[in-house]
């Protein structure tokens, strides 16, 4: 039996995990690694929030 009360870790980016930060950076290669880190700090750990703001910034580029 699975524990459905735990949040899905795939929805979040752990800023302390190089692997998770790098995976997000690979998805958004037009941004520097430090820009990705700043986005995580500014918009929080949820991927959907980070990706929303990065996509808006990408439109400007």
Instruction: Look at residue 55 and tell me whether its pLDDT is greater than 50.
Output: yes
What pTM was computed for the model? 0.80
Whole-number pLDDT of residue 8: 63
pLDDT digits (tens, 9 = 90+) for 16-36: 999 999 999 999 999 999 999
Q: Interhelix angle for 18-27 vs 33-43, to 10°? A: 110
Domain boundaries, the chain: 9-60
Instruction: Look at residue 1 and tell me whether its pLDDT is greater than 50.
Output: no
Instruction: Look at residue 2 and tell me whether its pLDDT is greater than 70.
Output: no
Instruction: Look at residue 7 and tell me whether its pLDDT is greater than 60.
Output: no
Please, which residues bridge with residue 46 across strands?
Answer: 12
């Amino acid at each position: 039996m699975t524990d459905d009360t735990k949040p899905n870790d795939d929805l979040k980016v752990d800023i302390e995990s190089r692997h998770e930060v790098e995976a997000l950076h690979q998805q958004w290669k037009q941004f520097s690694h430090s820009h990705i880190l700043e986005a995580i700090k500014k918009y929080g750990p949820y991927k959907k929030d980070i990706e929303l703001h990065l996509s808006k910034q990408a439109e400007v580029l």
